[in-house]
Structure 1
Amino acid sequence: MTESTTAARLRGAWKGVHRGIHRGAAQVDTATPADRDRAVDALRAFAILGVVLGHWLVTALVADGGGTGLHTASPLQHLPWLAPISWVFQTLAVFFLVGGHVATRGYTSARARGTTYGQWLRSRLSRLFKPVAAVLVLWTVASVLLLLSGTDVDTVHTLCKLALSPLWFLLVFAALTAATPLLRRLNPLWPLAVVLHVDLLRFGLGGPDWLGWVNLAAGWLVPFTLGAAWTRGELERRRAGWILLTGGAAATAALIAWAGYPASMVGVPGAGISNLNPPTLAAVTFGLAQCGLALLLRGPLRRAMRRPLAWAAVALLNLSAMTIFLWHQTALMATTATALTAGHLPGLHTVPDDLGWVAARLAWLPLFTLVLALCWAAFRHYEQGPRRRSGRRSTVVRSHAASPGTEAEVRHHV
C-alpha cells in the first residue's frame, strides 16, 4: 500500500467521522423543542465545567517522602497570587441560579398540569441521587481494599474525602429544591441579610465558628432565589444583570481589600478562613457578580446555541452533568494513584509551589479527561437510564416537548 493511498483512506475516514458528527448534531438540534431556552443549558454546562476544571487545577495530591502516602495541597497555598484562577472556575453560584430558575419554572408547570408536589419532587431528585449509589459503593469497596493492602489510614481518609466532597453540594441543592414551593416568592435580599449578619457575628463580634454553617443554606439561597426571580420575569432587563455584576464585584473587592476576607474563592489548605466552606459574605457577593454576568450572557448564548454542533455538545454535557460532577475527583485520584508506581511525577505528586507545577498540571488535564470519559462510559446509565434502540423518540424529548418547564435534557440517537 502506497503512502498516498494510506493518506487518502485516512482522509476518507476523517470525512466520514466528520459527517457523522454533523448528522448527530443535526438530529439533536431538530429534536429540541423550539421554545426551549438553550441559554439555560449552556449556563449549566459552563458551571459544571468550571467546577471540574477548578478542582483539577487547584487540587494536588502530594506524595509523602519516600513512601506511597498522599496528602492534599493547593497551588493557591504556595502561590497566592494565582487566586484569580478561583474567580474563573468557582462557578457554583451560576449552577444554583440556573437550578432555582429551572426548579421554580418546572414546579409551576407541573402544578398547572395537575402533578402533585410529591410526584414532581421524586422526578427531580431521582436524577440527582441515582448516580450517587454507584459512587458510594465503589469507594466503600475501594477503601476496604486499600486498608487491607496496608495503605496508610490518613491516605485513605484523604482520598475518600476528596471523592465524596461533591455530595455536600447535592444535599444542599436537594434541600433547596424540596423547598421550592416556599422559595418561589422569597426576595434574595432576605438570605443575603442572613449571611451579612452571620459574618458580622463571626468576624466582627467574635461569635462561634459553628455559626458560619448557617450560611451553607443562606449563602446558596441567594443565587437560588435569584433564579426564582428570573422565572418571575424580574431579571429580564439588562440593567438587572449590570447591577448584579457591578454591585457584586465592587462589594467583593471592598471585602477583600478592607475587611480581611481571602482573595481566593475556594478553600486553601492551612488558611484561617475559607470563603467557601462555609460560604462567607465575600463568596455570596462574588456569586452575585457571577449571576449578573450570566444574565448578561443569555442573549449571546442563545445565538451561539443555534449552531447544531455547539448545542449538541451542551445537550450531551447536560445529559451527563451529575455523572461528570460526581466522578471528576475520582478521575483525578485514579490517575494520581496509578501514576505513583512510576515515581513522583511533576504536576501529580510534587509540591505545587512554582509555575513548573502549574505547567505540568495543565499537561495532565487531557489524561484526567480521558479517565473521566472512562468513568462516564462505565456509570452514565445510572443517570441516563438504558440506551434506546435507534429510531425510537426519546421520552426525554417527548416529556420536554409536552412541558418546556421541566429540566429534562435532550437525548440524541447516535
Structure 2
Amino acid sequence: MSRDPVVDALRGFAIGGVVVGHWLVTALVVAPDGTLGTASPLATMPALAPATWVLQTLGLFFFTAGFAAARASGRHGPAHRFARLLLPALALLGVGAGLLLTAIVLGIPDATLSVALTLAISPLWFLLPLLAFHGLAGPLRSAVRRWGPLRCAGAAVAVVAALDLAGDALPGRLPVAVLAAWSVPWMLGMAHADGRLAGRRAGAALAVTGAAGLAALIEAGYPVSAVGVPGAAMSNLHPPSLFAVALAVTQIGVALLVRPALARLLDRPGPARAVRTVNQRAVRIYLWHQPILVGVTALLAHVALLPGLHTAPAGPGWVVARVCWLPLLALVLAVATGLRSGPDARPERAAPAHRCTMIASAGRSAPASGPRRLQEVIAVRDSDPPSRGRAHRQPR
C-alpha cells in the first residue's frame, strides 16, 4: 500500500514540534549540592508563550494518527496496532529500569532520580488516548461518516467545554478531557482520509474558526501558553482545555492550506527521504527524546556547568544558549533511535506526492493495460481520497 507523503510530513513536523518544544521549555538546573531540578523559561519569560502555539503540535499528531487509522481499517486488527505502540514503550521501560537500578547502586541522589524518572515516563501518557482511539476506530469512523466530522467534533468540543466549566472539582476529569479533546483532531483526520475534509476552503474555515476561538479564549482568561507553566493556576494541556482544541483546529486548517505546497516540496528526493526516515522511527523519537535530554545533561554536568544546559532560565541569553545545544541533542537522539543507520525494511511504499494527481487525470483517458494499470488504480485509491470514487470506476 502506498502512503500519503504529505500526511507523513505533517506527522514528522508534529513529532519534531513536540521534541523541540520539550527541549526548549525543560530546564534542568544543577543545584549547589549537585542534584538536578527542573525549571521553565515560560515562568521567567512569559513573552515566549506565543512560541508554544507553533511547538505544541499534539493536535497535528492526533490528526495524522486518525488519518492513518482510517487508511489501515480492514488491513490490520487492533492487536497489530496495539503492538506497534506498546512494544517500543515496553522497550523504553525495560532499558529505563536497568538504568535506574544502576543509578541507585552508584548512589545518585533521590532528587535527581525523581526528576529523571518523571521526565522519562511522562511521554507515555499518549498511550491512553491512542490505544482507546485505535480500539474504537471502527465506531468513530462510522460516526464521522454518518453524522459528519463537524457534528462529531462539535459534540466532543461541548464535552471539553463542560469539563472546563466544572474545573478540578469534578472527579475523573483528566482522562475524560484527554479523550474528548484529542478525539477532535483524530476524527478530523479520519474525515480527511475519506476525502470529506479537503481543499483550501475547508482549510481556511478551520484555520479562521480555530484562530477566532483562541483569541476569544485568551480574552476570557485562558492562559496564553499552550503548555503548562509552573506556578500557574491553570494549564491548557493538563488536562487539555478548549484552548488546546482550538489550537489543534487552527493547525489542521493551516496544514490543509499548505498541503499543495508540501506536495510540491515532497516531489524532491531529499525532503521525501527525510520524511520517510523520521516516520519509520517516529514512536522511538517521541519516547526517547526526554531520556536523551536527561542523559546528556547529567553526563556533561560531570565536566562543567554549562550555560543553557545546567543553568536557570533567567533571560534571553539562556534561550540562545539552549538553542545552541539542540544540534547535539538531535545528534544523540538520531544515533539512539537509528536515524543515521540505513533505512528499515518496509512493506509500505511512499508514493511521490505528484503521482496521485497525474494518475487520476490520466485514468479518464488512458486504456487499461495489465499489471501496471492495476498498480496505478491502487495508488489512486490509497493516496488521493477525493478521487477514490473515480478509482472504483476504472476498468480492471
- Residue 87 (structure 1) aligns with: 53
Please state if 1:255 is matched with 2:222: no
User: Mapping of 1:4-403 within 5 angstroms?
Assistant: 36-64=3-31, 66-107=32-73, 110=74, 119-184=76-141, 185-186=143-144, 187-202=152-167, 207-208=169-170, 210-257=172-219, 259-377=220-338, 394-397=346-349
Structure 1 unaligned runs (5+)? 1-32, 389-393, 407-414
Q: How many Å apart are 1:131 and its aligned residue? A: 1.5
Q: How many Å apart are 1:212 and its aligned residue? A: 4.3
Count of aligned positions: 349
Q: Which amino acid aligns with 1:167?
A: L
| Post-superposition CA distance 1:6-41 (Å, at most 9, x none) | xxxxxxxxxxxxxxxxxxxxxxxxxxx7x6421111
State how far apart, in whole Å, the 2-side matches of 1:176 and 1:314 are.
25
State how far apart, in whole Å, the 2-side matches of 1:294 and 1:251 are.
17
Q: How many Å apart are 1:248 and its aligned residue? A: 0.7
Q: Which amino acid aligns with 1:269?
A: P
State how far apart, in whole Å, the 2-side matches of 1:77 and 1:101 are.
36
Q: How many Å apart are 1:405 and its aligned residue? A: 4.9
Structure 2 unaligned runs (5+)? 145-151, 351-374, 384-396
Cα contact 1:143–1:156 (8 A) shared by 2? yes
SS of the residue 1:372 aligns to = helix
Q: How many Å apart are 1:274 and its aligned residue? A: 1.0
State TM-score, norm by structure 1. 0.79
Q: How many Å apart are 1:379 and its aligned residue? A: 12
Identity percentage of aligned residues? 43
Cα contact 2:15–2:282 (8 A) shared by 1? yes
Q: Which amino acid aligns with 2:313?
A: P
Inter-CA distance 98–75: structure 2 relative to 1 (3 Å threshold):
same
> Which has the larger displacement, 125-134 or 243-252?
125-134
Cα contact 1:62–1:348 (8 A) shared by 2? yes
| Post-superposition CA distance 1:187-245 (Å, at most 9, x none) | 2111111001111222xxx8437524421110000100111221232212322111111
State how far apart, in whole Å, the 2-side matches of 1:40 and 1:169 are.
19
Q: How many Å apart are 1:125 and its aligned residue? A: 2.3
SS of the residue 2:338 aligns to = helix
Inter-CA distance 269–210: structure 2 relative to 1 (3 Å threshold):
farther
| Post-superposition CA distance 1:32-88 (Å, at most 9, x none) | x7x642111111111111111111111111111x22211111100110110011111
Inter-CA distance 222–57: structure 2 relative to 1 (3 Å threshold):
same
State how far apart, in whole Å, the 1-side matches of 2:319 and 2:349 are.
42
Runs of 4+ in 1 over 4 A off after TM superposition: 378-381, 401-406
